Amino acid sequence: MMTALTIHLHEDKYERLTLVATQRQLSVAQLMEDLSTRALVEFDGYLRFLARATQGNPAEGLALLEKLDALEEAQAERLR
């Protein structure tokens, strides 16, 4: 089931969204559907993160982040 949603935007914002939609060969409605899906996926990921963060070990989490930083730095060095 689909539900209609009416939103109020400044004219310049609507024009810019129209340009984005045109560039992606979508209607503005399809673009808004895509953007809302992305926002919901991001929010779901955030909720999963919060749920797992309450069960995790902060020291292990920080160690993993440090390892990731080191890997990213090594990758960046290879690309230089």
Expressed as residue numbers, the domain containing 23 is: 11-79
The answer to whether the CB of 17 falls within 8 A of the CB of 28 is: yes
To the nearest whole number, what is the mean pLDDT of the chain? 94
Q: How many domains does the chain have?
A: 1
Give the C-alpha separation, 47 to 43, whole Å.
6
Per-residue pLDDT of 25-60, as tens digits, reads 999 999 999 999 999 999 999 999 999 888 988 899
* AA identity, residue 42: E
74 located within any domain: yes
3 located within any domain: no
36 located within any domain: yes
- Length of the chain in residues, anyone? 80
Rg (CA), the chain: 20
Per-residue pLDDT of 65-79, as tens digits, reads 999 999 999 999 888
